[in-house]
Amino acid sequence: MNNPYPTNMISAALQAQVEEQMRRDQVQAQRRWFRRGVAMVFLAIVVAWVVIPAARAPMEAEGLAIFALTFGLLFSGFIHWRGYHVMSDAATRTRREQLLGRMIQQEWKADATSEKAKRTLTLSDDGELVEVDEYADSTASAIR
């Protein structure tokens, strides 16, 4: 299997996280599209067997019921096709790149916030910002 990631750019842990999230997303998408398709089939059956005969005379309802069943099954087939299309190689590749970008941004943000937390600034007597050494500040307050 070809590795879609440049090995010198991305750590193995990040690749594992992306692949795990991809697997979860694909399972959720497959379930979601399957439920939509099944719901459409049941909706077509209810319309054809209950709604149309209740709204029309029995002789007029036959043609409309056949039309409703046919339309419902064709639309359900479209939903199943769309579900397979979402799982295609191109869609998977695009989703993988989006997840990878999002996870890299999260790591950068985590690194940036941890770096900022290390620096402490205070206002000096003459109104200038001065970086405070936390260790020296804590020892000076302990001596007093």
Domain membership of residue 7 (yes or no) is: no
Domain membership of residue 140 (yes or no) is: no
Global confidence as pTM: 0.55
Domain membership of residue 1 (yes or no) is: no
Domain membership of residue 46 (yes or no) is: yes
Domain membership of residue 2 (yes or no) is: no
Which string of DSSP letters, residue by residue, matches the chain? ----S-TTTS-HHHHHHHHHHHHHHHHHHHHHHHHHHHHHHHHHHHIIIIIHHHHS-HHHHHHHHHHHHHHHHHHHHHHHHHHHHHTSHHHHHHHHHHHHHHHHHHHHHHHHHHHHHH-EEEE-TTS-EEEEPHHHHHHHHHH-
Range of the domain at 80: 12-118
Domain membership of residue 80 (yes or no) is: yes
Domain membership of residue 143 (yes or no) is: no
Domain membership of residue 63 (yes or no) is: yes
pLDDT tens series, the chain, 144 aa = 455 555 556 677 888 888 888 889 888 988 998 899 889 889 888 888 888 888 877 777 788 888 888 888 898 889 888 888 877 888 888 888 888 888 888 878 877 665 555 667 777 778 777 777 765 545 445 444
Number of domains making up the chain: 1
